[in-house]
Structure 1
């Protein structure tokens, strides 16, 4: 079940965000919880950072950002992660299905997201959901512990 993120979610969100199976594919390199606080505070202030609960526990999270003006029919889905202990149990699918349902009811006709070109499980997952690879941001992503840059793929889904 989706709900808005709360300040009390910091520790749980940080534990998922910083998990070794998750952190390589989110925006920031590994950090201490104290360094994560301003990032989390910004997510809270956005009013578009959602917690997904399963059996009363935080199972994952995501953020939706609606573009302004002529592209107000478009939303970006990001900061998306599932607790690695729940991978393969349909949590990601349930979260994205729910996000799309809410976005559609808000008048969104296009959803886009970014995924690293080396995140093959995520790319296959998004493809199964109907997202299409629309472009490549070359050498866009750089993890501090790797010497090379990674391409970022732009994926889009048109809603009926």
Structure 2
């Protein structure tokens, strides 16, 4: 399936008028979505790399073609895959869009990666119940860490 084609079975799980796409948002949409959804703000320069180098993208657009939700996968294509930037515009929340994005990204990893991929994410409080409902567990004894800059 080409990167920008709709996965046919996924649109059926979305509310009427929404379309799931296997494509990246535009640079402007990506920067805006991170901000309105409560993720840390980034600059256009910071956004360029993820838009070009992510292993996979999933977006959901409303009936007017506006970005309603998004998510992406970073990975080596072999065994390690990290789901990031899962976000839904507040005007479109509580409609199952985030779940649809997550299910599509996980399905793509399962379909395209070798058996037993290692799938990670950093779960912010608003998304933890969704991630747990999809089978994610705490990574103990490992602990997510970052290097502040």
For normalisation by structure 1, the TM-score amounts to 0.65
Aligned mate of 1:81, from 79, 87, 106? 87
Higher strand share: 1
Determine helix, strand or coil for the equivalent of 1:11: helix
- Tell me if structure 1 keeps the 8 A contact 2:24–2:59: no
Give the corresponding residue for 2:137.
132
Contact preservation (8 Å) 1:4, 1:47: no
Question: 50, 55, 65: which one pairs with 2:57?
Answer: 50
Shift of 1:141: 8.1
CA RMSD of aligned residues (A): 2.6
- 1:2 paired residue among 18, 21, 24: 21
TM normalised by structure 2 equals 0.70
Partner of 1:115: 123
Cα distance, 1:59–1:141 mapped onto 2, change above 3 Å: farther
In structure 2, the partner of 1:65 is 74
Q: CA 1:2–1:141 in structure 2 vs 1: closer, same or farther (change >3 Å)?
A: farther
- In the other structure, the counterpart of 1:95 is 101
Q: CA deviation at 1:96?
A: 0.7
1:11-68 deviations in Å (ceiling 9; x for gaps)? 222221112x422xxxx4x46xxxx111111112204352412332211222212237
1:16 aligns with 2:16: no
C-alpha distance in structure 2 between counterparts of 1:133 and 1:15, whole Å: 29
Structure 1 residue runs of 5 or longer lacking an equivalent are 145-160
| Paired position in structure 1 for 2:6 | none
Structure 2: 5+ residue runs without aligned partners? 1-19
